[in-house]
Structure 1
Amino acid sequence: MNQPTNDVNILGVNFDNTTLENFMDIITNRINEHRRTFVVTANPEIVMYAQSHSQFNDLIKQADYIVPDGIGVILASRIISQPLKERVAGYDVFTKLLEWGSTNHKSAFFIGAKPNVIRDLQRVVAKQYPGLIISGTQDGYYKDESIISEKIRLSSPDMVFVATGSPKQEEFINRNINKSEALFMGIGGSFDVLTGNVKRAPKIWQDLKLEWLYRALKEPSRFKRLMILPSYLNKVFKQRQQHRK
């Protein structure tokens, strides 16, 4: 089985230097072997949050894999002269796992998004991935986590997708990963995109590595979140200087 090699450390976060194809081989093998697997799909926002929140930093260090979900992470790896092979977008991993799960009759539990989105998700998954067993669904506006935990334990899914945004999704996974011998992965707004409630950037924007800009133009509220990028890049350049000393 292929394995990621030569982790790349960006501001204290160790990214697996892998490709989407290789990573899919790894995690599908782990699912088949019923090995608990915690995957973090990290972008510059998550890196910066980890920098200023030590508990969260310690938490994601317990993940089995941290993959570069964001062109800002790829850019940073080049700045420090340790280039990552490619972006491994959480949404791409998510949809490929749904396809693989459908083909191989695996099961999945979905947590997150608004109630109308999670209802749409059930319909979309049933239609597009008919071989996938839906073990359970829960919108992101729950009040009693213990009920969800018990549902995961009883249904014992192969995959658990948590789309409540970071850091909430990673914290949920950390508390509940012992409930099933499954893959647990935080995937942000992926349910919204899969159901069409949020449109993903056209392929040309993706190819130009400008998906982040497209989303910001469509959702102006995201520009506030992009304000961390100058500080992020400044810290990356400082990391490069320290390595050169």
Structure 2
Amino acid sequence: MKPFLSVRGLRSGYAGGVVLGGVDLDLERGGTVAVLGRNGVGKTTLISTVMGFVRPYEGSVTVDGREIAGARVDVIARAGVGVVPQGRRVFAPLTVAEHLAIASRGPARGPWTRARILDLLPRLGERLGHRGDELSGGEQQMLAIARALLGNPRLLLLDEPSDGLAPAIVSHVGEVIREVSAQGMTVVLVEQNLGLALSVAQQVAVMQKGLIVHQAACADFASRPDDRRRLLGVD
């Protein structure tokens, strides 16, 4: 069976410089992979290249057999890819309701409706009239996740969703990721919080210097402290 997401020989970077040196990654439908690595190894560039924010120099990215490498962001989104970007990118002047309305434009395309998302993220329902710059960091992160889910993606890319959040909010983010995964969504999670990553993913892919150098089942990686120290510098 062909993988739902297949990345082959992906090279990209900025202004001619190379950040990704030839990434290979496969992910089955409905699976969750945690992409780990120290700062600056290319994790965010990988997400940005798959989503079309950065154009690849060469290589292939297929989603359910459809080639999307080098396509425009809107084309990639219509192919079923959604993103929760690093830094959330919430629009300060817009209310929560306005963010959700913009993300909901167009005909209903899947199970993730406004009502269902507010059931999953009830705090947003309490803050519908608040502007983006009136939300806490955790509320902004939930809004970024809600905005992505309203596109009903089949593949969800999350870039450092725990960054700067309190432990209780990180735990909630984990619950949300597990819920969308349980509903059959395929998830690529870039994360520095190893505890969160291992609690939601089935497999890990560790990056170093623009390449994936180690892949393993989460249970195996969790049981091998020597690998964690060697690859990530953590116990």
Q: TM-score normalised to the size of structure 2? A: 0.30
From the two aligned structures, give the one with the greater strand fraction.
2
- TM-score, normalising length from structure 1? 0.29
Structure of higher RCO (CA pairs closer than 8 Å, 6+ residues apart):
2
Structure (1/2) with the larger helix percentage: 1
